[in-house]
Structure 1
Amino acid sequence: MLKEVKCSVPAVTGVISFYVSKDCTNISASEADALCVINRVVVFYCSGCRSSFEEIDHLLKRFYEQTVELDQKNIYFNTLENEMEELKIAFKQEIERLVNLNHIKDNHIEKLERRTQNIDEEVLEAEKSYEATLRAQKLELTRLNGELLELLKKNNIITDKLNSQVLKLDFQENELLHLKVINKSLNDNILSLSKKNDAYVSERRSSN
Structure 2
Amino acid sequence: MLIEQIADKKIVRKVFDEEKELKSKQFFDVGELKSSGDKLSVNLQVKIFDEDGKLEEKYFTHYTCKPEKSDVLLNVFPFAQRGDAKYVIEASSYGFKNLYQFKAEEKKLKDLSLKMSVESGMLGFFGSKNKIKLSHRRVNKTASGFDLQSHLTIKVYMMGLNIKTESYQVTEKLNDNKILLSQEFMSEDGSYFLMNY
Greater RCO, CA 8 A, separation 6+ = 2
Query: TM-score w.r.t. structure 2 length?
Result: 0.20
Higher helix proportion:
1
Query: TM-score w.r.t. structure 1 length?
Result: 0.19
Higher strand proportion:
2
